[in-house]
Amino acid sequence: MGLKSLWDAHVVPRMIKCACASPAIAELRAGIVPLAQGQVFEIGCGGGLNQQFYDPARVTAFAGIDPSARLLDYARDAAARKGWQADIREGIGEDIPFAANSFDTAVCTYTLCSVADPAKVLSELRRILKPGGTLLFLEHGLSPEAGVARWQRRIEPVWKPLMGGCHLSRPVTAPVVAAGFEVDAPSHTYMDGMPKWAAWMEWGAAIKPG
* Contact in structure between 65 and 114 (CB atoms under 8 Å): no
Which residues have CB under 8 Å from 103's CB, separation 6+? 38, 39, 40, 41, 63, 128, 129, 130, 133
Q: What are phi and psi of 67, to 5 degrees?
A: -80, -10
CATH code for the domain of 125: 3.40.50.150
The range of the structural domain enclosing residue 158 comes to 3-207
pLDDT of residue 13: 55
β-strand pairing of 200-207 with 129-140:
antiparallel
pLDDT digits (tens, 9 = 90+) for 113-170: 999 999 999 999 999 999 999 999 999 999 999 999 999 999 999 999 888 889 999 9
pLDDT digits (tens, 9 = 90+) for 23-41: 889 999 999 999 999 999 9
H/E run at residue 2: none
Report the number of distinct structural domains present in the chain.
1
Whether residue 17 has pLDDT greater than 70: no
What would you report as the CA-atom Rg of the chain, rounded to the nearest whole angstrom? 16
